[in-house]
Chains A and B, each alone.
Chain A
């Protein structure tokens, strides 16, 4: 049996995208929760909880984009033009947000800090919403003729993509709230508990609605989820979602500090797996599989040689940074010690 490089790469890139979604997810979520928290001191704490890691989190997005170009160029060359508007809006929002993040620390007056706060928050909303739109538009399918995108520049805009956009904003908000439960204490933590509960309801509702809408999008999804015997094989996913949701609310009641975040991560992972079950082995639904989209085998092997060395090092270092900055961020303290 020969080694299926394409499969390895698909798993690697899927992992990179997932890591991006959950890691930038909670730091975008912190921005999303800004309007719900008014005080400057509390906002400073919120930002300080993500300050050491957000830049590293965002870099996974570069790896996702670069990896797609390097290994699945046909997917890269068809998805990106199809999602032109939401992608560019997302990139601009991330650039804007990244700099707002920097500048709010340097703002000399409270008023200018408030302006940067607002930019940071809006940047987070727009980036999250656009990512959700991209996801919805991709799942709906992209019209490809030959090797090129064949749709218009507004095709991404549908009720379904707006729904997934809103769902992702709620989901990132949930991740952000759970992160704050973990990393803060006192008044801010109590606020985060309340926010996590509300956002938990909204996110679960969004998962249910999106899952219910999926089978109506295409016959392929219906066959994958509802037909016998797939029904039995796929059933664990919704069952696990229900169990995790129950565990999540129990954890909130018990004022657990880490468990809510783990449950929220679990919900993201299950949704991601569910998406994978729906799409597999398509990378650009409805017609392009990972093998269709894959680059030349020599190119895959050439880059994999470096990736097997560098990716684990990046992971180890990322883990080290998170470990180094473990513990609570106290109000009033300028930062970590």
Chain B
């Protein structure tokens, strides 16, 4: 066997899916929360009339536009991926998944074509009320989009409401049961909350970054304060939601939970393993450090409860990459604990009136900026790698889902995706960082109204904005 032999077509297709979806999801994970944040900011502005809310709103609206546009272009690829690489899966599951994804496309499309345009046209053109309505609808639209995608994904994890024909094709029997399948509520709540925390970490980091330069900047104070409230309240809540989600998975996907926890043997008073290295061949976790009884407590809510291990389940249902599932889970939980720590530290300092006077906290928050994105990616890795070796859990195997496409074709396209995505989204992220670095000042222009305005996700270049001002045509400022 030569070392240069290509991996199998199915593994290449998996790698391609992982690459494209991880890049894609970075953007929605951020924009779902940011859309709601924008709605809250505009709502506060309408209620109080304070300019600081509008300025902060406009600062983030520019960023939202870019992130949203990148989500759309990367999403374009996703809608073709089931067909190019997973055609057997597409043929068999389409009667169930097709309408769910169809609704997602329609709502995303409607949102994109409709209200984001109004949002970007600017307040001056459409008036405050219509503009606020558009902001709320965009926020609602991102949540609706997430609703359908998570319904589809949850059905793949906990399929119900269908029948499987003799040809292996799924047919819908009960749409209610399909859409609201058993794991959907938990997954939806966990993902949306994760997106909110992701946004809070980024907004908090940007606020903290500017506080480190200028402690008095009211926009930076507002961002930082709101983000820290979010971390203090929502990060602990997320831990509870995550625990409920884990309990649901334990019920429906025991092999996944055993892989997450690193349990090979079924046992009472099962330990929560903090560190170690799962070895599927040997059937044990090497160098493990654990807390006795804790896993039994949080999985069965009984210190002596019996926790099922992988060895009690058929070997062919074990997740194919145990260390990946095991470690991704620890990364997610670890970052979640750090977020809770950040939130509580901020709460404590706020109580003592030192929220804006503690540079160490601001540095901590800057460091935590990407933590939400990493945690969300790790969480999805747990859930998706943990679903293996199935595409539809327990019913359709990944190896039986793949397209009849030659491995060299998949390898070539994988390489092309890797290069193009790195160049394209690398440039996009670089530009986002550049925007984060801009000081949020009074009279934020937001997306200017006398520039080319696109229906979705675009703002003009800063050089052009500067040019417009230099021409002696000041940018419109609404009454504040």
Write out the residue numbers on chain B whose beta carbons fall within 8 Å of the beta carbon of A310: 106-107, 109-110
Cβ–Cβ contact B406 & A51, under 8 A: no
- The complex places the Cα of A148 from the Cα of B425 at a distance, in Å, of 34
Task: Give B102-134 interface residues, CB cut-off 8 Å to A.
Answer: 102-110, 112-114, 117
A77 within 8 Å of B (CB atoms): yes
Q: Do A334 and B172 touch (CB < 8 A)?
A: no
With A56-B455, A302-B172 known as contacts, the answer to whether A62 contacts B105 (CB < 8 A) is yes
Complex interface: stretch among A81-89, A192-200, A241-249, A271-279: A81-89
Q: How far is the CB of A172 from chain B (nearest CB, A)?
A: 18
Contact call B110/A313, Cβ cutoff below 8 A: yes
- Contacting pair A63 B110 (CB below 8 A): no
Report chain A residues within 8 Å CB of B103. 303, 306
Contact flag A51-B171 (CB < 8 Å), given A65-B79, A79-B83, A95-B76:
no
A314–B420 CB distance below 8 A: no
**Contact A51:B417 (CB < 8 A) given known A65-B79, A67-B102, A78-B87:** no
Question: How long is the Cα–Cα vector from A148 to B169 in the complex, in angstroms?
Answer: 13
Contact pattern, B 150-178, Cβ under 8 Å of A = 1, otherwise 0: 00000000000000000100011001000
Instruction: Give the size range of B's interface with the partner.
Output: 35 or more
Task: Verify B83–A69 contact, CB threshold 8 A.
Answer: yes
B464 touches A55 (CB 8 A): no
Q: Within the complex, what minimum Cβ distance (angstroms) separates A155 from chain B?
A: 11
**Residues in A whose Cβ lies below 8 Å from that of B408:** 153
Chain A nearest CB from B99 CB (Å) reads 4
CA distance in complex: A197, B144 (Å): 47
In the bound complex, do residue A80 and residue B84 qualify as a contact, i.e. CB atoms below 8 Å apart? Answer: yes
Q: Which residues of A contact B413 (CB under 8 A)?
A: 84-85, 88
Name the A residues within 8 Å of B108 (CB-CB). 62
Q: Are B420 and A59 in contact (CB under 8 A)?
A: no
Q: How many A residues touch B, CB cutoff 8 Å?
A: 71
Q: Is the CB of A295 within 8 A of B416?
A: no
Cβ-Cβ contact count across A and B, 8 Å cutoff: 238
Within the complex, the shortest CB–CB distance from A116 to chain B, in Å, comes to: 10
A107 at the interface (CB under 8 A from B): yes
CA gap between A330 and B455 in the complex, in Å: 20
Does B454 make an interface contact (CB < 8 A)? yes
Which of B74, B98, B453, B457 is within 8 Å of A335, CB to CB? B453
A85 partner residues in chain B, CB cutoff 8 A: 409, 412-413
Establish whether residues A106 and B88, one from each chain, have CB atoms under 8 Å apart when the complex forms. Answer: no
Nearest A residue to B165 via CB reads: A296
B116 — nearest CB in chain A belongs to which residue?
Answer: A55
Docked-complex contact A63 and B84, CB < 8 angstroms: no
Docked Cα-Cα span, A59 to B461, in Å, equals 23
CB of A334 within 8 A of CB of B102, answer no
Q: Is A99 an interface residue (CB 8 A)?
A: yes
User: Which residues of chain A in 295-321 are interfacial with respect to chain B, using CB atoms and an 8 Å cutoff?
Assistant: 295-296, 298-299, 302-303, 306-307, 310-311, 313-314, 317-318, 321
Question: Once the chains are docked, how many angstroms separate the CA of A77 from the CA of B92?
Answer: 9
Looking at the assembled complex, report how far the CB atom of B370 sits from the nearest CB atom of chain A, in whole angstroms.
Answer: 21
Binding site secondary structure of chain A: helix
Q: Are B462 and A106 in contact (CB under 8 A)?
A: yes
In whole angstroms, how far apart are the Cα atoms of A55 and B66 in the complex?
Answer: 13
Most buried by B among A53, A70, A152: A70
Q: Which of B237-279 contact A (CB under 8 A)?
A: none
Contact B79 A99 (CB under 8 A): no
Cβ of B82 under 8 Å from chain A: yes
* Interface check A54, CB cutoff 8 A: yes
Chain A proximity mask over B384-420: 1 for CB below 8 Å, otherwise 0: 0000000000000000000111101100110011001
- Whether, in the assembled complex, A175 has its beta carbon less than 8 Å from a beta carbon of chain B, the answer is no
Q: Out of A55, A67, A306, name the residue touching B456 (CB < 8 Å).
A: A55
B105, A299: Cβ atoms closer than 8 Å: no
| A298 proximity list for chain B (CB < 8 A) | 95, 171-172, 175
Chain B residues lying within 8 Å of A53, measured Cβ to Cβ, are 454-455
Is B109 a contact partner of A80 (Cβ separation < 8 A)? no
B77 near A95: Cβ-Cβ < 8 Å: yes
Given A71-B98, A95-B74, A108-B463, answer yes or no on A296-B454 (Cβ-Cβ < 8 Å): no
A92 & B105 in contact (Cβ 8 Å cutoff) = no
Can you add 11 more A-B contacts, CB < 8 Å, to A77-B83, A84-B84, A149-B404?
Answer: A52-B452, A55-B69, A70-B98, A80-B80, A88-B84, A89-B416, A92-B420, A102-B458, A105-B460, A106-B461, A303-B102
A-B contact pairs, 9 of them (CB 8 A): A47-B452, A53-B454, A53-B455, A55-B454, A71-B102, A80-B80, A102-B458, A152-B406, A334-B450
Query: 10 smallest A-B Cβ distances: which pairs?
Result: A80-B83, A73-B94, A70-B98, A70-B102, A51-B452, A66-B105, A77-B91, A296-B95, A335-B452, A77-B87
Taking Cβ atoms with an 8 Å cutoff, the residues of A that contact B are 47-48, 51-56, 58-59, 61-63, 65-71, 73-74, 76-81, 84-85, 87-89, 91-92, 94-96, 98-99, 102-103, 105-108, 147-150, 152-153, 295-296, 298-299, 302-303, 306-307, 310-311, 313-314, 317-318, 321, 334-337
Q: B: which residues have CB within 8 A of A?
A: 66, 69-70, 72-77, 79-80, 82-84, 87-88, 90-91, 94-96, 98-99, 101-110, 112-114, 117, 167, 171-172, 175, 403-406, 408-409, 412-413, 416-417, 420-421, 423-425, 427-428, 431, 450-458, 460-464, 467-468
